[in-house]
């Protein structure tokens, strides 16, 4: 059959697909009468991360460190920020890995860094992606619009995931075709990605088991611990963590203890690595507010999700936490 193909480009495509995709499940009959193997069960090589913020940069770095080819989609400003964040973090890791070998450290750092490219053009970033991880603003409409657009562009086999903290993965996925919804799931990373071992893998009612398994394996390939989550509010971690953070805010607002005492008490009495206010500074006060506001809108009678005036004021003042250098505390360096 192959001999009937005149188009040299097509031969190249078939050859490169045959190299890339180990197992085949489907035969497709092209209009010009050539059977090609459908790349249904392809391996993940190319990862596209949409969004160059704190989470996007962390995910891109983790994937590059595990030898995936990574493309980050971001505008100029966020591309720069993303590369600076990754570079800073790789410097720390390289120094730890090669304490007495500056050459080895540089080689490690450069080789990981070279796996990451940044682009502004969403289309370009998706045409060759095996896995897309969205890490943009926590807004259902914005996410749906973006996924609808790339559903038309990305190859059929591409797995779509959202790093949403608080939205329903099923609602986001609804913007895509039914076929894509089988290859759509949540992949929720934690901040800072370099320091947090967990990845929540969220299945919707439509997620194909093969897609789910592929994502579990991907998380393992990143050196992370995957945990299966239902597509319910906040999945596991945020559903338990955010009411605790909001309760810490209310405790302080009632004047029961100082921020420093609450943080110290929780660290030394409950064994958590950071107190709730330190942690909100890491997460980003804007992110905490967006999550809790969204849940409050959905369940206004649920007192666990009641808004906090203090949090709202700090966000209004632009005190967003460590990424800005000021939140509940002041920091010398912007981090995470």
The contact set with ligand 3HC (CB under 6 A) reads 88-89, 92-93, 96, 165, 190-192, 194-196, 238, 241, 273-274, 279, 282-283, 287
Residues 6+ positions from 19 with CB-CB distance below 8 Å: none
Torsion of CA 31, 9, 64, 138, to 10 degrees: -40
Tell me how far, at minimum, the Cβ of 37 lies from ligand 3HC, in Å. 39
Which of 79, 134, 188, 206 is catalytic? The answer is 188
Which of 46, 165, 166, 308 is catalytic? The answer is 165
Do residues 200 and 235 touch, judged by C-beta distance below 8 A?
yes
Question: Looking at beta carbons only, is 194 or 251 nearer to ligand 3HC?
Answer: 194
Tell me how far, at minimum, the Cβ of 24 lies from ligand 3HC, in Å. 37
Question: Looking at beta carbons only, is 153 or 237 nearer to ligand 3HC?
Answer: 237
Tell me how far, at minimum, the Cβ of 272 lies from ligand 3HC, in Å. 7
Question: Looking at beta carbons only, is 46 or 191 nearer to ligand 3HC?
Answer: 191
Which of 138, 182, 200, 278 is catalytic? The answer is 200
Which of 85, 166, 206, 238 is catalytic? The answer is 238
Indicate the SS3 state at residue 275.
coil
DSSP string for 19-83: HH------EEE-TTS-EEE--TTPPP-EEEEE--SHHHHHHHHHHHHTT-EEEEE--HHHHHHHH
- Whether 333 sits among the annotated catalytic residues: the reply is no
- Whether 256 sits among the annotated catalytic residues: the reply is no
Rg (CA), the chain: 22
Question: Looking at beta carbons only, is 118 or 165 nearer to ligand 3HC?
Answer: 165
Tell me how far, at minimum, the Cβ of 259 lies from ligand 3HC, in Å. 17
- Which single residue is written with the structure tokens 């890490």? 135
Burial of 9 (0-12, 13-18, 19+ CB in 10 A): exposed
- Whether 114 sits among the annotated catalytic residues: the reply is no
- Whether 134 sits among the annotated catalytic residues: the reply is no
Positions marked catalytic: 165, 188, 200, 238
């Amino acid at each position: 059959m192959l001999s009937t193909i005149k188009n040299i480009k097509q031969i190249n495509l078939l050859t490169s697909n045959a190299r890339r995709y180990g197992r085949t499940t489907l035969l497709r009959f092209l209009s010009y009468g050539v059977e090609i193997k459908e790349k249904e069960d392809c391996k993940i090589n190319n990862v596209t991360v949409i969004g160059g913020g704190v989470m996007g940069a962390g995910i891109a770095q983790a994937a590059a460190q595990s030898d995936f080819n990574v493309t980050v989609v971001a505008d100029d400003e966020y591309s720069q920020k993303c590369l600076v964040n990754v570079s800073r973090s790789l410097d720390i890791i390289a120094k730890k890995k090669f304490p007495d070998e500056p050459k080895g450290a540089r080689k490690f750092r450069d080789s990981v860094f070279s796996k990451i490219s940044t682009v502004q053009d969403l289309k370009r970033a998706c045409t060759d992606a095996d896995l897309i991880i969205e890490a943009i603003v926590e807004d259902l409409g914005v996410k749906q619009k973006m996924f609808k657009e790339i559903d038309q562009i990305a190859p059929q086999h591409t797995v779509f995931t959202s790093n949403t903290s608080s939205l329903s993965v099923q609602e986001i996925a609804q913007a895509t075709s039914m076929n894509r919804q089988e290859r759509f799931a949540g992949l929720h990373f934690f901040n800072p990605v370099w320091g947090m071992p967990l990845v929540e893998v969220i299945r919707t009612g439509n997620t194909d088991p093969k897609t789910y398994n592929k994502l579990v394996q991907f998380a393992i390939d990143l050196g992370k611990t995957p945990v299966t989550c239902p597509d319910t509010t906040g999945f596991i971690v945020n559903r338990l963590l955010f009411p605790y953070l909001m309760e810490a805010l209310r405790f302080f607002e009632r004047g029961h203890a100082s921020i420093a005492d609450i943080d110290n008490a929780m660290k030394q009495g409950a064994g958590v690595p950071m107190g709730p206010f330190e942690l909100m500074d890491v997460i980003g006060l804007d992110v905490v507010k967006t999550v809790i506001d969204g849940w409050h809108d959905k369940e206004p009678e649920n007192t666990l999700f009641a808004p906090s005036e203090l949090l709202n004021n700090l966000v209004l003042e632009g005190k967003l936490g460590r990424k800005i250098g000021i939140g509940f505390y002041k920091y010398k360096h912007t981090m995470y």
